[in-house]
Amino acid sequence: MSSASHTIPSGLHGRRVLVSAYDLEQGEHRGIAVFSKALIRCLHDAGAEVWLLTGFSPVLKGRGRQLLPRKARSLIQMSVILDSLAYGRQTREQSFLERRFRWARFLIAWRNRILLLKVWLSRPRRYRSVDMLQMPLAELDDNPYLRMERLSYLQDVTGIVSAPGIYLASQSAAMLAEQIPVTIDCSGFDALLTTCPLNLLALNVPVFVQSVHDLIPLEFFAHNENQVMFSHRLQACLPGGRLFVSEATARKFRERILQPELSRERHKAPRTINHQERVVVQPPSLRFPRWLLTDPDRVGDLKPASYLLRPHPEDPDPTSANQGWAERPINQRSRRMLPFRYLLFNSSVEARKNLFLLAEAYAESNLSAQGIHLCVTGKLKNDDYSAAVKSIVRHEPGILLTGYVDESTKRDLYLNALALLSPSLVEGFGIPVLDAACLGMPSLVSDSASHLEIAALHDFDATVLPLSTLSSRDWADAMSAQAALNRTLWQSRRASVERRRRISRYEKLRLHFYSQLQSDLTDVLISN
């Protein structure tokens, strides 16, 4: 239980809330997954009994397992689900043949289409309560999965409800022109709350609320999500209540989804539309050790433990320009980072995140010669955009690609960065920017509506610095200016003071945002 539960009144005692886990099933926990974890914790601390809805199947394969005693079968089934949640759905990497030959890519693409057609034809249309396995976590004693960092959110979860393939079924149904939703019987629950738009129709439950994060797949054509499917998923949010993560998202939804539907309703067949909606601001995402929460102003220096911030004996002096680093493998360059000698880009690598602009700006600046690096935590993909980024990285030794990092490493990177960079073309909210603002760390951001919303909160306009230009030269100048303003932070005494300041400020603001979200969720679930 979080510390906030002792200070915030509880208002959901006795209520059983079913929360979707689609984003928690993915291989990487970013964006929406962070929101989901905060939502689960808030519901738990408000007194609700939280159950997690998963599409992973507990089916036991292998001879003899069905003959085991019921308790043993149940234990194995739970471990199957927890193992799936622990590692998530992994994106298949292209094989050597696919990377080398077009015909191989063609054959694999057709194979995938056939498999998808098979799944689509056999998809469930409805989920009855009796068909979904409910697994209380209290039955687990000293389970190894519950000690994994990735599954720490389960400490706030009462149990898991397995509805095999429900998210794939929901997406498949969203491709149909008729927009027929997948029905789910939620008997025994007081509310169903989705953490992203799903094409579901909830039966036998008083409260149904869907979360809407953005309209990006409709606004940005290069997004990897099917626009038809996403549009239908947004329309599926109309019958229930809605949570929005920003005013910008709420405004766009009303103008582009709700208003056209209301107009159609007046002139055509009527459709039930729920007008209950709420804009919420999620808490920041970083988690500090429990012992820090008692009195963050008085703790000692929290020095970085991550290997990314430990110098290697073979490395040259990272505070000066070095020759020969461009020839080293990219995974070896990350050893060069020192605290407060790098700028941080913490995001996925896709066109709308605009990493290519940053890479160009960094190459145009003089930061590499000063021993100041650009740290990129996103994982490059096998696509043209990542290839373009890689073409700059190969010739620019100061750009360090870490790939996806765990939560403790992410915390170290934030605590010891000179500034955060977020040049996104479009965002639903911008959790990395919120994290930086709560730390009191400067962030250079694009002037998207969501970034401007964050800058308007509290005193964040002092550290959230929007740039109204997407010129690489302008971003290079802004990055150099931030490095110059904070050029002495890397000194050990100043570094320790800065880390303590960031931790203290962050914890106070985290509790504020947490309290507000818990209050908002309580109001939403009671009023709907």
- Does residue 456 surpass a pLDDT of 90? yes
Average pLDDT of span 44-56: 95
Average pLDDT of span 366-384: 87
Q: What is the dihedral of CA 397, 399, 403, 406, to 10 degrees?
A: 120
Residue 203 CB-density burial (10 A; 0-12 exposed, 13-18 middle, 19+ buried): middle
DSSP string, 199-250: -EEEES-SEEEEEE---HHHH-TTSSS-HHHHHHHHHTTSSSEEEESSHHHH
106-115, 253-262, 359-368: least confident range = 106-115
Element (H, E) at 49: strand 49-54
* 290-511 CATH fold: Rossmann fold (3.40.50)
Residue 516 CB-density burial (10 A; 0-12 exposed, 13-18 middle, 19+ buried): middle
CB 17, CB 195: distance < 8 Å: no
Per the listing, tokens 């799936």 go with: 84
- Does residue 121 surpass a pLDDT of 90? no
Q: Map out the domains of the chain as residue ranges.
A: 12-205, 290-511
pLDDT tier at 486 (50, 70, 90 boundaries)?
confident
pLDDT tier at 85 (50, 70, 90 boundaries)?
very high
- Does residue 127 surpass a pLDDT of 80? yes
pLDDT at site 1: 37
Element (H, E) at 137: none
Percent of the chain with pLDDT over 70: 87
Nearest to 419 by CA among 488, 344, 489: 344
- Does residue 285 surpass a pLDDT of 60? yes
pTM of the model: 0.86
pLDDT at site 74: 85
Per the listing, tokens 């765990």 go with: 406
Task: Using the Cα atoms of residue 145, residue 151, residue 156 and residue 161 in order, give the sign of their dihedral.
Answer: negative
pLDDT tens digits for range 167-176: 988 888 888 7
Percent of the chain with pLDDT over 90: 51
pLDDT at site 226: 84
Residue 36, both tokens: 């989901």
**Alpha helices for 299-365 (secondary structure H):** 330-333, 355-364
pLDDT at site 264: 66
pLDDT at site 3: 43
pLDDT tier at 462 (50, 70, 90 boundaries)?
very high
pLDDT tens digits for range 380-402: 887 888 888 888 888 888 999 88
- Does residue 228 surpass a pLDDT of 80? yes
| Beta carbons within 8 Å of 206's beta carbon, 6+ residues apart | 190, 191, 528
Q: What is the Cα–Cα distance from 413 to 416, expressed in whole angstroms?
A: 5
pLDDT at site 91: 67
Q: What is the Cα–Cα distance from 30 to 428, expressed in whole angstroms?
A: 13
Whole-number average pLDDT of the chain: 85
Burial 480-497 (b: 16+ CB within 10 A, else e): bebbeebeebbeeeebee
Start-to-end C-alpha separation, the chain: 26
- Does residue 321 surpass a pLDDT of 60? no
pLDDT at site 98: 64
pLDDT tier at 119 (50, 70, 90 boundaries)?
low
pLDDT tier at 298 (50, 70, 90 boundaries)?
confident
pLDDT tens digits for range 178-223: 778 999 999 999 999 999 999 999 999 999 999 999 999 999 887 7
User: How many other C-beta atoms can be found within 10 angstroms of the C-beta atom of residue 404?
Assistant: 14
Q: What is the Cα–Cα distance from 150 to 84, expressed in whole angstroms?
A: 12
